[in-house]
Amino acid sequence: MIATESLSKRFPKVTALDRLSVDVGPGVTGLVGANGAGKSTLIKILLGLSPATEGRAEVLGLDVATKGGAIRERVGYMPEHDCLPPDVSATEFVVHMARMSGLPPAAARERTADTLRHVGLYEERYRPIGGYSTGMKQRVKLAQALVHDPKLVFLDEPTNGLDPVGRDEMLGLIRRIHTDFGISVLVTSHLLGELERTCDHVVVIDGGKLLRSSSTTDFTQITTTLAIEVTDTDEHPDGTRAVREALRARGVDTHDGSGLPGAGHVLLLTAEGEETYDLVRDVVTDLGLGLVRMEQRRHRIAEVFRGDSDENSGTSGESGTDGGTRGNGADRDGDGERKEAVGHGG
């Protein structure tokens, strides 16, 4: 879908892209990086809107340096910033964008109605955009990117400014763009957690350089860390502690994993093999406790950035699922939800 080769973009005071070589296949691909990492610059070059300083890039087999027009016919673009006219309705605006893409009037109206329904705008679509919420505006921007039935869409920070519910809805929509319509997606975000759930593949850039490009499952491969949660009983009012002590008596060290979201008392330990599972089962049974869960943890993308290895992933206590953001910054958008952000976040 996309291929870049030693692509660079230098502005007078900053190198926004630095010899970036990356291939992106079909599916939903996340482009992640801190603010200023070069995500929007890359998208503009890929659309043929801004020339690269060096290197080359192709989108759908078309050279960005010479085939910008043909690329924009085939690729939808949802820009990061608010760019919607306040005085027209979503329907009028999206019909206009469809016409600009070359659809005849009747087809433009039909596609507009379908697309606005798909993104979840109903009666509101006849009201002026100026009165819309941020979530509704993001949906209009998404609709205009999809209305001409592109093969590929570039979505630049589509969840920006949305509350957690709005973000989840937008991420669901993005997934469905691919599953329902077969349109491939390149979506940018500075929030790692979102991409982990939404994308098949993740490309990470930092300071305009490629840090990593791999499938989401490779990022989140299973670790050898086991997470255990047990019930309390009258005899053992702190079941977790009882398990911890019993395991220690058998020479197995555990770590506190209660920093994990939604977790009550979670113990983390390194699984040496089947014996570890048997040992935990026996210890819990001997103590008369209930085993609520025993599961292998997966790496989270944030941990990959921190360079956490299996060996130390259980030692910090906070290194669990959504736990740590060490070195990557924690992001709060005022919605009270802690999010993982690369770099300094935004």
Ligand X SMILES: Nc1ncnc2c1ncn2[C@@H]1O[C@H](COP(=O)(O)OP(=O)(O)OP(=O)(O)O)[C@@H](O)[C@H]1O
Residues that bind ligand X (CB under 6 A): 11, 14, 16, 33, 35-41, 157, 346
Closer residue to ligand X in complex, CB, 37/187 = 37
Nearest to ligand X of 100, 330 (CB atom):
330
CB-CB neighbours of 176 under 10 Å: 13
Do strands 267-270 and 15-24 pair parallel, antiparallel, or not at all (unpaired)? unpaired
Least gap, CB of 140 to ligand X (angstroms): 20
Q: 108 or 186: whose CB is closer to ligand X?
A: 186
Three-class SS of residue 267? strand
The side-by-side arrangement of strands in the sheet containing 75-78 is: 75-78, 152-155, 184-189, 28-32, 201-206, 209-215
CB 196, CB 216: distance < 8 Å:
yes
User: Taking the complex as a whole, how short is the minimal distance between the CB of residue 327 and ligand X, in angstroms?
Assistant: 18
Tell me whether residue 162 or residue 243 sits nearer to ligand X (CB atom): 162
**Residues 295, 317: contact at Cβ < 8 Å?**
no
Query: Please, which contacts does 305-314 make with residues 24 or more away whose CB atoms are closer than 8 Å?
Result: 305/192, 305/204, 305/342, 310/223, 310/224, 310/225, 310/270, 311/270, 313/223, 313/225, 314/225, 314/255, 314/257, 314/268, 314/269, 314/270
Shortest distance, position 16 Cβ to ligand X, whole Å: 3
Phi, psi of 187, rounded to the nearest 5 degrees: -120, 130
Residue with Cβ nearer ligand X (32 or 267): 32
For residues 101 and 264, give the distance between their C-alpha atoms in angstroms, rounded to a whole number.
53
| Comparison of 33 and 193: residue with beta carbon closer to ligand X | 33
Identify each DSSP E strand in the chain by its residue range: 2-10, 15-24, 28-32, 54-59, 62-63, 75-78, 152-155, 184-189, 201-206, 209-215, 222-230, 255-256, 267-270, 291-298, 330-331, 339-340
CB of 13 to ligand X, least distance (A): 7
172 to each of 60, 158, 165, 185, how far by Cα in Å?
25, 12, 11, 13
The smaller minimum CB distance to ligand X, of residues 35 and 213, is found at: 35
Q: Which is nearer to ligand X, 18 or 229 (CB)?
A: 18
Minimum Å distance from CB 154 to ligand X? 12
Shortest distance, CB of residue 155 to ligand X, whole angstroms? 12
Nearest-approach distance from CB 9 to ligand X, in angstroms: 8
CB 220 → ligand X: shortest distance, Å? 23
* Minimum distance from residue 67 beta carbon to ligand X (Å): 22
Closer residue to ligand X, CB minimum distance, 58 or 156: 156
User: Is residue 236 within 8 Å of 289, Cβ to Cβ?
Assistant: yes
Q: Which residue has the tokens 């433009």?
A: 108
Q: Which residue has the tokens 């098949």?
A: 200
